[in-house]
Every structure is written in C-alpha cells, then in structure tokens.
A and B are shown apart, each in its own frame.
Chain A
Amino acid sequence: MDNEMTLSFLAISENESLARMAVTSFVAQLDPTIDELSEFKTIVSEAVSNAIIHGYDEDGKGVVTIHAVREGDVISVAVKDQGKGIFDVQKAREPLFTSKAEMERSGMGFTIMESFADDLQVESEPNIGTIVTFSKKFYSVRMPQIS
C-alpha cells in the first residue's frame, strides 16, 4: 500500500463537496487527466449523496466514512454508512430506479458509478448500513521527464 486515507463526516448535504475535495487531493499524486479526475469525483459524489440522502434521510447525525487506498496507479475506495440500508440491492442498481422521485433523484447514480469505476460492489443490510466499494486505475498521460 502506497497511501491511505480515512475521512468521516456527518450526513449533511454540504459535505458532498467536502468529500469530493478530499478525494481530489488524495489522487493528485497520480497526476490524473481532467477526464479521469472528473469521473472519479462523480463516483464519490454519487456514493456519498446516496449515503446522506437514502442511508440517513439527511438527518445530520449519522456518520459517513470514506476509506481510500492507493496501490500504484489504482485507487480503491469504500464509502460506508450505518443507515437504513438498501432492501433490494439488485433493484436499486437498475437504471432509473429511485425511491425518492419527489426529490428529483434521477435513479442514475448506480449506473453512473458502474460505468466510471473499474469494478463496484454494494453490500447492504437493512437497518445495519451500506458499503459501496470501487476501484479505478489511472492511466494519466504523464509528461516525459526533462533531465
């Protein structure tokens, strides 16, 4: 393992940008391209929003934890909550499925996460919580070193 980071914060929607900022700094050492970085930030944003909105109903009390690990040019991330859990994970992962249509949630979160991550797992248990884990390899076109 080359580097590791853990960040915990309350289930308040303002913290979605905090989470993106922290992971952006964490992957900076890999010199990601603009597209790699924005795809990576999108995955984190979707997972963290899900934890805050669906896991905790934005109660401002629950804690969301992000654990990120860097091994070479691969970053692995776990986004964890101890909220209400997902009753049917398979259903939740279907495109356009949402339990909060009135909030204009598009139901595209998992589809976007799956498309931008190299692999993505969802473990969830009702009333225990949810862990979304994913990894992404950074190919980052690096400038040749000038000696």
Chain B
Amino acid sequence: MNYEINMHTNDIVVIRLFGELDHHEAERIRTDISRTILQGNLQTIIWNLERLNFMDSSGIGLILGRMREMTAVNGHTIILNPSNTMKKIFQFSGLGNFMFEGTEEEAILSARGIVNG
C-alpha cells in the first residue's frame, strides 16, 4: 500500500491511503506517519480513504494510535470516504462519529471551524 501526507498550514494534515491496509502494512507505515504528524502544531488529522481498497481492524489501531498521540493537544480526527464495510468497522469500534460526509476541502473548512471557532 501507499500513502500521501499533505500539511495544510501547520495544524491540519490530510493523509490519503491507497491500496490495502492490514496488520503488515500498518506496522510498516505507522512510525513514518507518526513522525510526520508529531512535527508542527498539529490539531486535526483528516484520513481520506477514497482510494483505500481494503481495511481490517489494523486501520482502527492505526487511527486510534494517532488520536492518542494528539490527546495532549485535544486534537481532532476526521474520516473521509470509507467504503460500506469500513463504515461498519468504524461503527463497531466506536469511531462512527468521526466519519464526515463531504470533500477534502469541506473537511478542512470544518476542521478550521472547530479549531478556530
């Protein structure tokens, strides 16, 4: 699998995941993602799953792990474009409320609202 990280100003990061996310891939990418997001004054992580073809519970571990790293700054998490199966997995795991209907731009605007509002 692959991923892209884009910082928007210093406080919002968009992470786009591609391909299949399982335990093997999560272990491979998490330290790298973690290192990147710990730089700057990160307040919000937007996970764009539009191009992610598969995700099992490792995705929950990856997202929860990054949420934990942001607890000190009271960070926000937004999950975009999950598939139907991923939606169910997020709901079972108590992450249903973090899913957002809309585009990346709308998610960024919404995050700005939360952060600055």
* A interface residues with partner B (beta carbon < 8 Å): 13-14, 16-17, 20, 34-35, 38-39, 41-42, 45-46, 49, 52-53, 95, 103-106, 108-109, 111-112, 115-116
Contact = CB atoms under 8 A, between A and B. Distances in A.
Interface in B78-103: 83-85, 88-89, 92-93
Given A13-B27, A16-B23, A49-B23, A108 B88 contact: no
Contacts of A41: 54
Interface hub of B27, B55, B56 (most chain A Cβ within 10 A): B56
A14 B24 contact: yes
B2 interface: no
The 8 closest A-B pairs by CB, nearest first: A13-B24, A104-B61, A106-B60, A38-B85, A45-B56, A108-B57, A106-B61, A104-B65
A34 B85 CA distance: 9
Q: State the majority secondary structure of interface residues on B.
A: helix
7 contacts: A16-B22, A45-B56, A53-B23, A106-B58, A108-B89, A108-B93, A112-B57
Given A42-B85, A46-B57, A49-B56, A108 B92 contact: yes
Contacts of A104: 26, 30, 58, 61-62, 64-65
Contacts of A38: 54, 83-85
A105 B22 contact: no
A109 B84 contact: no
Contact of A106 (B64, B83, B85): B64
A42 B56 contact: yes
Nearest to A41: B54
Contacts of B84: 34-35, 38
B20 interface: yes
Contact of B22 (A39, A49, A103, A116): A49
A123 to B, nearest CB: 21
Interface hub of A13, A20, A53 (most chain B Cβ within 10 A): A13
A53 B20 CA distance: 18
B31 to A, nearest CB: 11
Interface hub of B23, B64, B88, B93 (most chain A Cβ within 10 A): B23
B34 to A, nearest CB: 10
A95 to B, nearest CB: 7
A42 B89 contact: yes
Contacts of A105: 23, 57, 61
